[in-house]
Structure 1
Amino acid sequence: VDNLLTLLLIPLASVFGMELYVMLVTGELKRVWLSAAATNVQFNLVTLVASVTLLVTLGVAYIITRRKPVYLLDFVCYKAPDRLKSSHEWFNQHSAKVPTFSEQSLEFQSKIMDRSGIGNEAYLPDGVRQYPADKSMASARAEAEMVMFGAMDMLFAQTGIKPRDVDILIVNCSLFNPTPSLSAMLVNHYKMRSDCLTYNLAGMGCSAGVIAIQLAKELLQVYPRSRCVVLSTENITQNWYFGNDRSMLIPNCLFRIGGAAIYLTRRDRWRAKYELLHTVRTHKGANDQAFHCVYQMEDELGNVGIKLAKELMAVAGEALKANITQLGPLVLPVSEQILFFFNLVVRKVFRNKKLRPYIPDFGRAFEHFCIHTGGKGVIDEIERQLKLGPELTKPSKDTLQRFGNTSSSSIWYILANIETFRGVRRGDRVWQIAFGSGFKCNSAVWRALRTF
Structure 2
Amino acid sequence: MGTSEEKQSMENKQDGVRLKYVKLGYHYLISNAMYICLLPIIVALAHLSIEDLVHLFHQHQLSLVSVTLVCTGLTVCLATLYFALRPREVYLLDFSAFKPDPSLMVSRETFMRQSKDTNSFSEETLAFQRKILERSGYGQKTYAPEAALEVPIDPTMAKARKEVEMVMFGAIDQLLAKTGVNVKDIGVVVVNCSLFNPTPSLSAMVVNRYKLRGNILSYNLGGMGCSASLISIDLAKRLLKDQSNSYALVVSTESMTLNWYGGNNRSMLITNCLFRLGGAAVLLTNRSSERRRSKYQLMQTLRTHKGADDKSFKCVVQQEDESKKVGIMLSRDLMAVAGEAIKTNITMLGPLVLPLSEQLLFLANLIGRKVFKMKMKQYVPDFKLAFEHICIHAGGRGVLDQIEKNLALTRWHMEPSRMTLYRFGNTSSSSLWYELAYTEAKGRVRKGDRLWQIAFGSGFKCNSVVWRALRTIDPNKEKSNPWTDEIEEFPIHVPDISPILV
Match of residue 334 from structure 2: 312
Match runs of 1:364-375 below 5 Å: 364-375=385-396
Matched, 1:392 2:413: yes
Matched, 1:446 2:467: yes
Partners in 2 of 1:378 and 1:81 — Cα distance?
Answer: 29
2:377 partner letter: R
Instruction: Give, in angstroms, the shift of residue 61 of structure 1.
Output: 3.9
Segments of 5+ residues of structure 2 without an aligned counterpart are 1-59, 474-502
Instruction: Give, in angstroms, the shift of residue 351 of structure 1.
Output: 2.3
Aligned residues: 411
Match of residue 428 from structure 1: 449
Give RMSD over aligned pairs. 2.1
Match of residue 276 from structure 1: 298
SS in 1 for 2:298: strand
Instruction: Give, in angstroms, the shift of residue 129 of structure 1.
Output: 1.3
Match of residue 325 from structure 1: 347
Sequence identity percentage? 57
Instruction: Give, in angstroms, the shift of residue 228 of structure 1.
Output: 1.1
Partners in 1 of 2:85 and 2:274 — Cα distance?
Answer: 44
Match of residue 265 from structure 1: 285
Partners in 2 of 1:177 and 1:58 — Cα distance?
Answer: 49
Instruction: Give, in angstroms, the shift of residue 342 of structure 1.
Output: 0.6
Match of residue 185 from structure 1: 205
2:213 partner letter: R
Instruction: Give, in angstroms, the shift of residue 56 of structure 1.
Output: 6.0
Match runs of 1:30-429 below 5 Å: 59-267=79-287, 268-352=290-374, 354-429=375-450
Partners in 1 of 2:125 and 2:77 — Cα distance?
Answer: 69
SS in 2 for 1:222: coil
Partners in 2 of 1:371 and 1:128 — Cα distance?
Answer: 27
Instruction: Give, in angstroms, the shift of residue 186 of structure 1.
Output: 1.1
Deviates more, 1:65-74 or 1:407-416: 65-74
Instruction: Give, in angstroms, the shift of residue 111 of structure 1.
Output: 0.5
Instruction: Give, in angstroms, the shift of residue 194 of structure 1.
Output: 1.3
Partners in 1 of 2:146 and 2:463 — Cα distance?
Answer: 31
SS in 1 for 2:142: coil
Using structure 2 for the length normalisation, give the TM-score: 0.79
What are the superposed Cα offsets for residues 153-204 of structure 1, whole Å, 9 maximum, x if unpaired?
Answer: 1111111123333221111111101010001111111222212221111111
Instruction: Give, in angstroms, the shift of residue 436 of structure 1.
Output: 1.0
Report the CA distance shift for 1:287/1:49 in structure 2 as closer, same or farther (over 3 A). Answer: farther
1:375 partner letter: G
Instruction: Give, in angstroms, the shift of residue 47 of structure 1.
Output: 11
Partners in 1 of 2:98 and 2:343 — Cα distance?
Answer: 32
Instruction: Give, in angstroms, the shift of residue 219 of structure 1.
Output: 1.1
SS in 2 for 1:444: strand
Partners in 1 of 2:268 and 2:438 — Cα distance?
Answer: 30
Report the CA distance shift for 1:420/1:287 in structure 2 as closer, same or farther (over 3 A). Answer: same
2:293 partner letter: R
Match of residue 12 from structure 2: none
Partners in 2 of 1:422 and 1:395 — Cα distance?
Answer: 12
